Amino acid sequence: MMVKAKVFIYNKEFDGLPKEGDLIIKEEDLPPLKDGEYLAEAVYLSVDPYMRAYAPSIPLGSVYIGSQIAKILESKNSDYPVGRYVVGYFGWRSHTVHDGRTPEAPANFPAPFLIPDLGDVPLSYFLSILGMPGNTAYFGFLEICQPKKGETVVVSGAAGAVGNIVGQIAKIKGCKVIGIAGSEEKGKWLVDELGFDHFINYKTDDLDETLSQVAPKGVDCYFDNVGGETTATVIQHMNEYGRISLCGSVSSYNKKDRSVRIPLFLLVAKQIKAEGFLFYRWVDRSLEGVQQNLKWLQEGKLKYRETVTEGFGNTFKAFVEMLEGKNVGKAVVKV
């Protein structure tokens, strides 16, 4: 089968928030399959903050980085049968010829994963709660923060793909949970539907003052998705032997200067552990994370929400809107 793929090419270096023209769509003729290869068609594309964070290391002229769920249309690889769906870091492309091995970029990202048939579980969940963001929340929070019942947990980026799961897992573990995010609509969802104890709008509330009110006994665990001033302020409220899971710093991704003044001496004085991580540290245990999140989902202990944009051509729009905070839950594109 002769197939033309549509691909997004990194055309112009991002300067601040990505702009129209920074990525351009091109058509590419795909070669016929060789032994060991399969052809897959994108069904859902993921748009994630790391795609902006990694931009300085992406060569201009290359297909933009990203993961997707794709349906296998043709195969000369018995491990990837026709009709099955695969999660792969193929980049922003409509069609892909792949050999099933680990992609080259970003370094160390997982090899394509064949999606099991789970009946009525939405396919797109394998890019979110049953995929990378789900495992980021599960391992990044439980392994690094080691939360204990009754402790106070703060989550920044709380209404996004990773943050809302962290907060819900913290509730499952019996913690008091405070979510920080950027709109009242998000806050309402976190408190009314997901059971967070408190919400703080970092755009309109005084974070320092509100934290004193809602966490009078201090903060034991902080799951940090945003970095910057938010993190500097939360650290002031942390208790002795607090734990900080450094997951991301989305507040800095659109900036050239990503440095922020963090009060490091407070970490010393309060004997706080702050540890950065990348989700693939636990790649060997990824099934454990997926299975546990699925179980909690089926038991109704985890709820989930996605913001879906329709159309391959709207992937760039979905990406920018996610960086602007227009998504609630995971931002995905339905092709």
Q: Give just the sign of the alpha carbon dihedral 278, 318, 115, 38.
A: negative
223 interacts with ligand NAP by CB under 6 A: no
Give 75 or 307: the residue with its C-beta nearer to ligand NAP.
Answer: 307
Output the residue with the shortest Cβ distance to ligand NAP: 160
325 interacts with ligand NAP by CB under 6 A: yes
* Binding characters for ligand NAP, 25-54, by CB under 6 A (x = yes): -----------------------xxx--x-
- Window of 12-20, 34-42, 273-281, 289-297 that interacts with ligand NAP by CB under 6 A: 273-281
Task: Choose, by CB under 6 A, the member of 244, 322, 332, 333 that binds ligand NAP.
Answer: 322
Point out which residues pair with 97 in neighbouring strands. Answer: 39
103 interacts with ligand NAP by CB under 6 A: no
Give 131 or 147: the residue with its C-beta nearer to ligand NAP.
Answer: 131
Instruction: Supply 134's token pair.
Output: 């789900």
* Binding characters for ligand NAP, 186-215, by CB under 6 A (x = yes): x-----------------------------
94 interacts with ligand NAP by CB under 6 A: no
175 interacts with ligand NAP by CB under 6 A: no
Q: Which long-range contacts (CB under 8 A, 24 or more apart) does 49-58 make?
A: 49/248, 49/250, 49/253, 49/322, 49/323, 50/106, 50/248, 51/319, 52/14, 52/18, 52/253, 52/254, 52/319, 52/323, 53/248, 53/250, 53/253, 54/106, 55/10, 55/13, 55/14, 57/106, 58/10, 58/105
110 interacts with ligand NAP by CB under 6 A: no
Give me the least distance between CB of 165 and ligand NAP, in Å please.
Answer: 9
161 interacts with ligand NAP by CB under 6 A: yes
Alpha-carbon distances of 214 from 162, 238, 305, rounded to whole Å: 23, 13, 26
CB 165 within 8 A of CB 133: yes
Other CB atoms within 10 Å distance of the CB of residue 74: 16
Give me the least distance between CB of 128 and ligand NAP, in Å please.
Answer: 9
CB 12 within 8 A of CB 52: no
3-state SS string for 216-252: CCCEEEEEECCCHHHHHHHHHCEEEEEEEEECCCHHH
Residue type, 165: I
**Residue numbers 141-160 binding ligand NAP by CB under 6 A:** 157, 159-160
Give 76 or 303: the residue with its C-beta nearer to ligand NAP.
Answer: 303
Binding site for ligand NAP (CB under 6 A): 48-50, 53, 133, 136, 157, 159-163, 181-183, 186, 225-226, 247-251, 277-279, 322-323, 325, 327, 331
